[in-house]
Amino acid sequence: MSYQYLKAARKIICIGRNYAAHIKELNNATPKQPFFFLKPSSSIITPINQLNACKSLPKNSSYHGLNDNGTNPSPIFAPHGVVIHHEIELALVIDKYISNVEANEFHASDVFDAISGISLALDLTARNVQDEAKKKGLPWSIGKGFDTFLPISEFIPKAKLIKDRDNLQDVFRLTCAVNNFKRQDGTTNLMLTPLHKIIQHISTMISLEPGDIILTGTPAGVGELHPGDEIRCKLLYRDSELIDMSFGCEKRPGPYVYRET
């Protein structure tokens, strides 16, 4: 398992509202064009397992950089007073500079050459923090950017996907279970904006660089996470399991308590 790709990430770009059923479950409006937001690299954590023990942190810290091998083994930390929602997503790892691409110049068959590989990610959201910020017209970076709010898997090189190099859109399934109860189960062919249009659209506003990570949206079934919960996520490629990762959830250390802005 390799996590070195995480050390090369210059930015993490997340597409919002890309599955119709997820839009409906949160009573959101369907966007007229794709929109996205950023998550900080300090929100990255990786699974704790036999090869990667939980990282030792300075007192009261919740982040202290990535290890030399790219890992940051950690539980999910739940900030006091925050309602956390899990959102399982396919992640694309960009392999080249992509800037100002015209819509008619980038197609489904171009995605394979644009990426080095893929991974599986959880876009964790502080839902009450985000909802308050949106209601008041304030930025909602904090609602997406708390430490540990980007649990992410090992890297899957694109060579494992080569038989679908002309169209990667319809070959993935994402599942998520909390305490052995399935919450999310969706396929990437349900995306409102497909992978090639996501890459092209972002490039017209923010140039993509090698190592950048794009989260491509979440299917329906988002729900709450609480201290003591265990969340298990899987990525399947043509019904063959590529990734199986799990994270526990604990109370966040430090002084933060959610208060209305």
Q: What is the dihedral of CA 17, 231, 49, 252, to 10 degrees?
A: 90
CATH number of the CATH domain containing 131: 3.90.850.10
In a domain, 143, yes or no: yes
Q: How confident is the model at residue 34 (pLDDT cuts 50, 70, 90)?
A: confident
pLDDT, tens only, 202-222? 999 999 999 999 999 999 899
In a domain, 260, yes or no: no
Q: Give the E-state strand segments of the chain in sequence order.
A: 12-16, 35-39, 44-45, 76-78, 84-86, 88-94, 115-122, 125-126, 150-151, 156-157, 172-178, 181-187, 213-215, 223-225, 230-237, 240-251
**Domains held by the chain: number:** 1
pLDDT, tens only, 240-258? 999 999 999 999 999 999 9
pLDDT of residue 105: 96
pLDDT of residue 195: 97
In a domain, 258, yes or no: no
In a domain, 203, yes or no: yes
pLDDT of residue 35: 87
Which comes out higher in pLDDT, residue 29 or 62? 62
Are 48 and 67 a contacting pair, CB within 8 Å?
Answer: no
pLDDT, tens only, 102-140? 999 999 999 999 999 999 999 999 999 999 999 999 999
pLDDT of residue 23: 63
* DSSP one-letter string for 186-205: EEGGGBSS-HHHHHHHHHTT
DSSP structure class, residue 29? P
In a domain, 247, yes or no: yes
pLDDT of residue 94: 98
In a domain, 256, yes or no: no
Q: What domain range is 71 assigned to?
A: 4-49+63-251
Edge to edge, what strands does the sheet with 84-86 contain? 125-126, 84-86, 223-225
pLDDT, tens only, 64-109? 999 999 999 999 999 999 999 999 999 999 999 999 999 999 999 9
Beta-bridged to residue 231, according to DSSP, are 178, 247
How far is CA 76 from each of CA 81, 107, 152, rounded to the nearest angstrom? 15, 37, 11
In a domain, 39, yes or no: yes
In a domain, 175, yes or no: yes
